Amino acid sequence: MDDFVQKAQEGDVLAFEHIYRLHVGRVYALCRRMATDPGLAEELTQDTFVRVWHRLDTFEPGTQFHSWIFKVALNVVLADRRVRGRRARWEMAVDDPARLESPSRKSEPRSALDLESAMARLPPGARQVFVLHDVEGFRHDEIATQLEITPGTSKAQLHRARKLLREALTR
């Protein structure tokens, strides 16, 4: 791994492509769950890797490369969220009625797919806190800083998200 990072730092695009293949799933998962809109998630994933390329010289050897990439991705996601031009897509209303139908049946065990789609239907604020806290494992004080909200709001949004998800998944 370090070998590829070093080569990429020296400008080797093929090595960087290898890095992309290794990490794209992790980055895309974050972008997709945070942004929901698939097109925006793809853009954010691409922006992340372009940013990673330009900032490769700031990566310190000996530290965890995957955590470093994840931090870059999170910064890209959060920065984009603050940009007014894309806000409409972040706050996108659910316009496809089919998506409002819960895919789960009471008689069948619910799947990860049900949970993912229920997460996607959450209001943006609740969804982003839920993803950062329950999926990615951040603390409320960290989330508060990242999302520019208070820790109390972060907690309230988390509880709201969990309640909405429980309701959606048992419908």
Partner 1 sequence: MTTCANMEERLNDFLDGLLAGAGQQEVEQHLESCGACRETFDAIRRLRQETSMLPESLEPPRNLWPGIKRNLPGGSTILDWRPGWIRQLSGSPWRAGLAAAAVLLVAAIALLFMGPGWYPSGPTGRTVLPSESAMLVSLRAAETEFLRATDDLQAELDRRREELSPRDLAVVEENLRIINQAIQEVWSVLEKDPDNPRNVTVFTAMYRKKINLLRKAARLPSQS
**Of the candidate residues 116, 141, 148, 171, the single one contacting partner 1 (CB under 8 A):** 116
Residues 4, 18: contact at Cβ < 8 Å?
A: yes
Site for partner 1 in 31-70 (CB under 8 A): 32-33, 38, 41-42, 45-46, 49-50, 53-54
Show the tokens assigned to 60: 């310190």
Show the tokens assigned to 58: 């700031």
Q: Spell out, one character per residue from 149 to 168, where the chain touches partner 1: x when CB under 8 A holds, - when not.
A: ------x--xx--xx-xx--
**Of the candidate residues 89, 124, 134, 145, the single one contacting partner 1 (CB under 8 A):** 134
Contact residues: partner 1, CB under 8 A: 11-14, 16-17, 20-21, 24-26, 28-29, 32-33, 38, 41-42, 45-46, 49-50, 53-54, 110, 112, 115-116, 134-135, 155, 158-159, 162-163, 165-166, 169-170
